[in-house]
Amino acid sequence: MPLNAEAPPPLDDRLKETARRRRIMIVAGEASGDLHGGDLAREILARDPSCDLFGIAGEKMRAAGVRAIVATEDIHGLGLSELASTIGRTIGAFRALRRIIRREKPDLVILIDYAEFNLILSGTARRAGVPVLYYITPQVWAWRRGRIDKLVDRAGRLAVVLPFEAELFHRAGERVSFVGHPLLDRVATVHSREETLKRHGFPPRARIISILPGSRRAEVRYLLNPMVKAARIVARDHGLEMALALAPTLTQAELAEVGRTDLAGIRIVERDTYNLVAASELALVASGTATLETALLGCPEVIAYKVSPLTYILGRMLVTGVDFIGMPNILAGRQIVPELIQRDVTADKLVRAAEPLLSDTIRAETVAALKALREKLGSPGAAGRVATIALEMIASRTAA
Domain co-membership, 215 together with 329: yes
More confident residue, 400 or 134: 134
- Whether residue 15 is contained in a domain is answered as no
Residue 376 has what pLDDT? 93
Residue 78 has what pLDDT? 43
Q: What is the DSSP string of 105-143?
A: --SEEEEES-HHHHHHHHHHHHHHT--EEEES---TTTB
Cα distance between the two ends of the chain: 42
* pLDDT bracket for residue 17 (50, 70, 90): very low
Domain co-membership, 307 together with 176: no
Residue 380 has what pLDDT? 96
Q: Which helix (H) or strand (E) holds 291?
A: helix 289-296
* pLDDT bracket for residue 323 (50, 70, 90): confident
* pLDDT bracket for residue 215 (50, 70, 90): confident
Tens-digit pLDDT profile for residues 380-389:
999 999 999 9
SS3 assignment, position 1: coil
Q: Could you say which DSSP state residue 193 is in?
A: H
Tens-digit pLDDT profile for residues 107-119:
999 999 888 899 9
Residue 145 has what pLDDT? 61
Domain ranges, residue 48: 20-182+381-399
The pairing of strands 241-246 and 208-212 is parallel
Domain co-membership, 197 together with 327: yes
Domain co-membership, 233 together with 318: yes
- Whether residue 364 is contained in a domain is answered as yes
What's the CATH code of the domain at 144?
Answer: 3.40.50.2000
Put the strands of the sheet holding 52-57 in their side by side order.
67-71, 52-57, 23-28, 108-112, 132-135, 157-160, 176-178
Domain co-membership, 332 together with 259: yes
* pLDDT bracket for residue 30 (50, 70, 90): confident
Confirm whether pTM is higher than 0.95. Answer: no
pLDDT above 80: residue 1: no
Tens-digit pLDDT profile for residues 130-143:
999 999 988 766 56
* Angstrom distance (rounded) from CA 377 to CA 398: 33
The top-scoring range by mean pLDDT among 53-67, 86-100, 159-173 is 53-67
pLDDT above 50: residue 2: no
* Angstrom distance (rounded) from CA 67 to CA 255: 30
Domain co-membership, 169 together with 41: yes
pLDDT above 90: residue 313: no
Number of structural domains, the chain? 2
Tens-digit pLDDT profile for residues 349-374:
999 999 999 999 999 999 999 999 99
Domain co-membership, 301 together with 361: yes
- Whether residue 267 is contained in a domain is answered as yes
Lowest mean pLDDT among 69-83, 188-202, 252-266: 69-83
Contacts of residue 372, Cβ cutoff 8 Å, sequence gap at least 6? 332
Domain co-membership, 176 together with 288: no
* pLDDT bracket for residue 95 (50, 70, 90): very high
Contacts of residue 80, Cβ cutoff 8 Å, sequence gap at least 6? 310, 311, 314, 315
Residue 81 has what pLDDT? 43
Instruction: Work out the mean pLDDT of the chain and round it to a whole number.
Output: 89
Domain co-membership, 207 together with 346: yes
Contacts of residue 66, Cβ cutoff 8 Å, sequence gap at least 6? 26, 37, 38, 41, 53, 54, 55, 57
Domain co-membership, 228 together with 350: yes
Domain co-membership, 201 together with 333: yes
- Whether residue 9 is contained in a domain is answered as no
Domain co-membership, 59 together with 162: yes
Put the strands of the sheet holding 208-212 in their side by side order.
267-270, 241-246, 208-212, 282-286, 301-305, 339-341
